[in-house]
């Protein structure tokens, strides 16, 4: 009886991929067609938009010095205009919805939206607009831009890694992948509630995929 149960369980697990968008073999066949490149000169130039289901912005902040609290923003849009002849002439713009802040704690989410922090009623958007792009290696660079948050604009520099580009095997749109990090001080943007018990330095992490606009 136990042996039959284990066999049935194993069969069920193996059958899961067949119920998720076709057979595992068919999906693997599509994925093996991805022709990834790290050569920026081979990336099609032009406008790219953030692919929302594969783009995320996370933040990390000290909580009483006991732990690093991690949250995210669930709604953001970004546009990249890419110049493959000279990547430093590319531009990046992003819009973040502070009301989409997500800490996995409902009461804390609501507190972060009020006047102590993001004050989303008065400042419903945060924006980033690049002003300078530098290459620091074959796949790394720095993007400096103006971050407007809580009604205050300050320069911020992102350390960026290019994760490669390839035609998306499903949409056929050429897609670029990037990882980025930055640090800011929330007090610089007029958010000083509960300092210093709640940290001032906020570490930002960005994972993004940009799809070529057809």
Domain count, the chain: 2
In terms of phi and psi (left: phi > 0; alpha: psi -120 to 50; beta: otherwise), the region of 172 is: left
162 and 201 in a common domain: yes
Say if strands 174-185 and 101-102 run parallel, antiparallel, or are unpaired: unpaired
CA distance 182 to 30: 35
Among 171, 172, 170, 174, which residue's Cα sits nearest to residue 212?
Answer: 174
CB atoms within 10 A of CB 132: 11
The residue-averaged pLDDT of 96-118 equals 97
80 and 23 in a common domain: no
The residue-averaged pLDDT of 20-46 equals 69
42 and 28 in a common domain: no
152, pLDDT greater than 60: yes
92 and 21 in a common domain: no
Q: pLDDT at position 33, please?
A: 54
- Domain at 56, CATH number: 2.40.128.110
Token digits of residue 16: 């899961």
The residue-averaged pLDDT of 92-104 equals 98
Comparing 6-15, 62-71, 149-158, 177-186, the range with the smallest average pLDDT is 6-15
Among 200, 181, 179, 197, which residue's Cα sits nearest to residue 189?
Answer: 200
Q: Which residue has the higher pLDDT, 54 or 5?
A: 54
Q: Which residue has the higher pLDDT, 169 or 124?
A: 124
122 and 177 in a common domain: yes
At how many degrees (to 10) do helices 24-31 and 2-19 cross?
40
Structural domain harbouring 174: 38-212
159 and 86 in a common domain: yes
The CA-atom distances, in angstroms, between 198 and each of 17, 42, 108, 140, 150 are: 44, 45, 13, 32, 18
Q: Could you tell me the pLDDT band of residue 14, with boundaries at 50, 70 and 90?
A: very low
107 and 42 in a common domain: yes
Q: pLDDT at position 32, please?
A: 54
Q: Could you tell me the pLDDT band of residue 214, with boundaries at 50, 70 and 90?
A: confident
Largest CA distance in the chain: 68
42 and 19 in a common domain: no
Q: Could you tell me the pLDDT band of residue 35, with boundaries at 50, 70 and 90?
A: confident
177 and 156 in a common domain: yes
60 and 17 in a common domain: no
* Residue range 36-49, pLDDT digits in tens: 999 999 999 999 99
13, pLDDT greater than 90: no
Average model confidence (pLDDT) across the chain: 88
197 and 147 in a common domain: yes
159 and 64 in a common domain: yes
DSSP state of 17: H
* Residue range 51-60, pLDDT digits in tens: 999 999 999 9
């Amino acid at each position: 009886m136990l042996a039959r149960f284990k066999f049935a369980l194993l069969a069920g697990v193996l059958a899961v991929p067949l119920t998720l968008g076709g057979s595992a073999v068919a999906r693997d066949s599509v994925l093996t067609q991805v022709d990834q490149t790290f050569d920026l000169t081979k990336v099609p130039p032009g406008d790219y938009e953030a692919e929302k289901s594969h783009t995320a912005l996370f933040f990390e902040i000290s909580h009483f010095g006991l732990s690093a609290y991690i949250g995210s923003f669930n709604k953001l849009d970004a546009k990249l205009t890419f110049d493959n002849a000279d990547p430093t002439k590319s531009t990046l713009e992003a819009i973040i919805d502070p009301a989409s802040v997500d800490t996995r704690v409902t009461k804390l989410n609501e507190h972060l939206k009020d006047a102590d922090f993001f004050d989303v009623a008065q400042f419903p958007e945060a924006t980033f607009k690049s002003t300078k792009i530098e290459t620091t290696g074959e796949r790394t660079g720095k993007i400096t831009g103006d971050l407007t948050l809580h009604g205050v604009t300050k320069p911020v520099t992102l350390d960026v890694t290019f994760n490669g580009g390839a035609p998306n095997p499903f949409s056929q749109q050429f897609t670029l992948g990037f990882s980025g990090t930055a640090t800011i001080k929330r007090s610089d943007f007029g958010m000083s509630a509960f300092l210093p018990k709640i940290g001032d330095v906020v570490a930002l992490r960005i994972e993004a995929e940009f799809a070529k606009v057809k």
